[in-house]
Structure 1
Amino acid sequence: MDVFCGIDWAEGHHDVAIIDHTGKQLAKCRINDDLDGYEVLLDLLAEHGDTAEAPIPIAIETSRGLLVATLRTGTRQIFAVNPMAASRYRDRHGVSRKKSDPGDALVLANIIRTDMHMHRPLPTDSDLAQAIAVLARAHQDAVWNRQQIASQLRSVLREYYPAALHAWREKAGTLTRPDARKILGAAPTPTLAALLPTWKLRLMMTNAGRKRGITEDAEWLHTLFRQPAARQLPSVEEAMGIQAKALLTQLNAACKAVDELAKAVERTFRTHPDAPIMLSFPGVGAQVGARILAEIGDDRTRFATAGGLKAYAGAAPITRASGKRKYVGRRFVKNNRLNHAGYLWAFATLTHSKGANAHYRRRREAGDWHAQALRHLFNRMLGQLHHCLQNRIAFDESIAFPTACAGQAV
């Protein structure tokens, strides 16, 4: 490769630098973030030897957006360089700590000129895998947003309406439950809740989709809402009720978004060729499987070994050694989305796989904390997932955990 390109990405414009194999700058320009700007960039690349058979490699500080989507057509290698890594490279060219957008584009071009073998190009994932990634990340963000709003609502209710927190404290989903949101919408203050008759509580639960335990819970709530309790001043209580109802409106919208995205994720994920293999693993459902697939993709050349996948997910430990000092601990630089999905997966396997549960118990007996033991289990399951995807085979408990299965047979 004789020509390299670096692009400093920004919201409204992008700076481009093209250099040759000696580091000499051949061209530079600034393009707008629109179709005309993309065409200018492609024409500039073509002027310096870019062809469909031998495309010029490009380094950029992002892996998403219309610009990246335009450049990823064909066999072009796109290197998404972490901005922190680019900042370290900038210091190689000068100690004055000066910075400019054209200068950053030049630094990015030099990164792949000198150290291309140290960086990994964007994977060649299929269109379906990229679509699943969009939906799975949107669903994950919606779940986090729902939890944040629910926490805000809980904080407000604690100040004037503790009975509402006690009512659904032991129920799955707590304030995000449909029946909880239905009743809080009708009675956002303790005064209004005390006026609700039992029949109306039953009706709201039924309308919210409850099927069992309606009569018992309605009678219990009827009693709870009428118990003597500390109250705010009437005007303050009414104002806080308005605040809670505003948060409840946001929570209803967030819950609806989560439900709609969950259906879209499951529908799209099950059409992917890797879905049957991933669903064969204990603890992996459509949502967790889609989140894992979204982060690892379906380009089987992306991770040459299981160790690379484990490091990417933050499941493998990292070693820091200098002289007589040595430290082995968890990774802080990782794919946080995949790591989060991994903990959900590992925790779910405890009740779906006797071998995984035995592995977790051994780690706990060895002195690991709960999170450490789950990380060890996630590390092991990732290695098995890498093997199954590479060889196109389903998960087999007797092969994955032979000791546990042998003991079970005895």
Structure 2
Amino acid sequence: MKSASNTLPDEALNGVTGGLDWARDDHAASVVDARGRELVRHSVEHSAAGLRELIDVFSRAGCHEVAIERPDGPVVDALLTAGLTVVVISPNQVKNLRSRYGSAGNKDDRFDAYVLADTLRTDRARLRPLTPDRADTVALRRTCRARKDLIAHRVGAANQLRAHLRNVFPGAIGLFAEIDSPVSLAFLTRFDTQDKADWLTPTRLGTWLTKQGYPGRTDPAVLHARLTAAPRGATGAEADANAAITRALVAVLFGLLEQIKALTAEIDAQLARHADQHIFTGLPRSGRVRAARMLAEIGDCRARFPSPESLACLAGAAPSTRQSGKIRAVGFRWACDKQLRDAVCDFAADSRHANPWAADLYNRARARGHDHPHAVRILARAWLYVIWHCWQAGEAYDPARHHA
């Protein structure tokens, strides 16, 4: 769910505002009047009955606006369904706002609920009500993030398998380009010990690879030479004992690869049905998954980003400037949407291989002494200006019209 740029009214309805500090097991609520006096302080458990009780608390107090620290989840859904206006105030802001009410720096959920409610009363001009994205955008975002999490699990499991094989079967590590590739996992399924691999000859390995559908980019004789040149692994009873671990890790990786493939297909299907898919799929080297990630993280609420600068700042592609007197420092922007930054930088890094002005912009940034990540963020900022104009106009990227 995303926050739009429509403004709040100058005064809260009935002169009261609410705050809600959510947690895993329970939630603290607070309601303040127009002078900042706390009228209600209440806690509910995280359950269906508790959420109904929470809505009833705000309703009895005549509160129609609630500030909260997160933009999604069952609590936010319940508030929106009840017709309440939800305003998101980030945890970093709340942390800094506590100093308004004391210098001790104490952290208490009930006090944070009061801080949220009172900030909604005093800082209305700088706050925006939450407007949810369409259901298809939310579903696409969740699917893309789930796929990204599974890839992280796959990398972790592959590292675990590599570390295990380094001790018991080193020859299998450098045999193929990736330890978690389908052909590598198939090899470890059939030849999970040094004893079984010793049976192989270049001819036998070539026959086995043909049955696996190996594309043959590397000659079987070369692969066999890699296998025999590596340090020998465990043999005999020790090898058989460690083979169980190998099989377990291989099975985990096979399952992860299968589910990643399934989610990739689901992302492709959801993207094909989305009204904004043409805006992102036409970008160079965007593909389907990258296009889906950018669409999902940017969302479909145009009012959320009134300018390309606002989009670049949230994506962490614009630097953060700190200035006091004669001292001026420009540094990395830590406060941003990490998921959005990752999606945009992943696209920008590869776009330079297919787009002339993107390559030129990246190369000039490197020539000025910036490292690769910094140069990619510079390129990502340029792309975000292009994407913002295409997104606002609802049109696909046109290389002849859209430049940095």
Provide TM-score, normalisation by structure 1: 0.88
After superposition, the C-alpha distances for 1:177-197 in whole angstroms (9 at most, x for unaligned) are 111111112222222222246
CA distance in 1, matches of 2:238, 2:150: 32
| Cα pair distance change 1:114/1:161, threshold 3 Å | same
1:188 to 187, 192, 209: 192
Alignment check: 8 A CA contact 1:179 1:204 kept: no
CA displacement, residues 292-311 of structure 1 (integer Å, 9 cap, x when unaligned): 12221100000111001101
Structure 2 residue matching 1:18: 3-state secondary structure: strand
Query: Cα gap change, 1:205/1:108 in structure 2, threshold over 3 Å: closer, same or farther?
Result: farther
**What does 1:373-388 correspond to in 2, within 5 Å?**
373-388=375-390
Change (3 A) 1:117 1:152: farther
The yes-or-no answer on 1:8 pairing with 2:10 is: no
Report whether the alignment pairs 1:331 with 2:333: yes
Larger relative contact order (CA 8 Å, sep ≥ 6): 2
Q: Does 1:116 pair with 2:124?
A: yes
**Aligned residue identity for 2:113:** A
1:340 alignment counterpart: 342
Aligned match of 1:21: 34
Q: 1:109, 1:223 → 2: CA distance?
A: 70
Q: Is the 8 A contact 1:182 1:205 kept in 2?
A: no
Give the whole-Å Cα distance in 2 for the aligned partners of 1:207 and 1:65: 48
Q: Does 1:144 align with 2:147?
A: no
After TM superposition, list the pairs within 5 Å mapping 1:60-139 onto structure 2: 60-73=68-81, 76-139=84-147
- Aligned residue for 1:49, secondary structure, equals coil
Cα offset, 1:163, TM superposition:
1.8
1:368 and 2:370 equivalent? yes
Residue range with higher mean Cα deviation, 373-382 or 196-205: 196-205
Q: Report the CA distance shift for 1:32/1:305 in structure 2 as closer, same or farther (over 3 A).
A: same
Tell me what 1:406 maps to.
none
* Letter aligned with residue 324 of structure 2: S
Q: Give the Cα separation in 2 of the matches to 1:156 and 1:116.
A: 57
Aligned equivalent of 1:53: none
Mapped contact 2:192–2:246 kept (Cα < 8 A): yes
Shift of residue 125, structure 1, vs aligned partner? 0.8
Letter in structure 2 aligned against 1:300: R
Superposition deviation, residue 326 in structure 1: 1.5
Say whether the 8 Å CA contact 2:65–2:84 is kept in structure 1. Answer: yes
- Measured in 2, the distance between the counterparts of 1:353 and 1:206 equals 38
1:239–1:335 Cα change, 3 Å: farther
Hey, what's the Cα distance between the residues in 1 that align with 2:91 and 2:212? 47
Does structure 2 retain, via aligned residues, the 8 Å contact 1:266–1:286?
Answer: yes
Structure 2 residue 304 is matched with structure 1 residue 277: no
3-state SS of the aligned residue for 2:70?
A: coil
1:396 is aligned to 398
**C-alpha distance in 2 between matches for 1:338 and 1:299:** 15
Look up the match of 2:4. none
CA distance in 1, matches of 2:241, 2:88: 50
Secondary structure (helix, strand or coil) at the match of 2:347 reads: helix
Q: Secondary structure at the match of 1:273?
A: coil
Q: Is the 8 A contact 2:44 2:53 kept in 1?
A: yes
Corresponding residue to 2:167 among 136, 159, 162: 159
Residues in 2 aligned to 1:369 and 1:67: alpha-carbon distance in whole angstroms? 42
Q: Does 1:293 align with 2:281?
A: no
Alpha-carbon separation, structure 1, partners of 2:186 and 2:356: 40
- Shift of residue 64 of structure 1? 2.6
Residues 45 and 317 of structure 1: CA distance in aligned 2, closer, same or farther (over 3 Å): same
SS at match of 2:174: helix
Distance change in 2, residues 1:231/1:146 (3 Å): closer
Tell me by how many angstroms 1:378 deviates.
0.7
**Is the contact between residue 137 and residue 294 of structure 1 (CA under 8 Å) also seen in structure 2?**
no
Change (3 A) 1:363 1:92: same
Residue pairs, 1:248-287, within 5 angstroms: 248-287=250-289
CA-atom RMSD in angstroms: 2.4
Unpaired runs of 5+ residues, structure 1, are 51-55, 403-410
Report Cα offsets for 1:210-234 as digits up to 9, x if no partner: 4x218x6444434443447344475
Structure 1 residue 66: deviation in Å?
1.2
Assess if the C-alpha contact under 8 Å between 2:284 and 2:354 holds in 1.
yes
Alignment size in residue pairs? 391
**Aligned residue number for residue 54 of structure 2:** 41
Moved more, 97-106 or 143-152: 97-106
Contact 1:178/1:208 (<8 A) preserved: no
Query: Which secondary structure state, in structure 1, belongs to the residue aligned with residue 107 of structure 2?
Result: coil
Q: Aligned-pair distance for 1:315?
A: 0.5
Q: Distance in 2 between matches of 1:96 and 1:330?
A: 29
Matching of residue 31 in structure 1 with residue 35 in structure 2 = no
Assess if the C-alpha contact under 8 Å between 1:31 and 1:41 holds in 2: yes
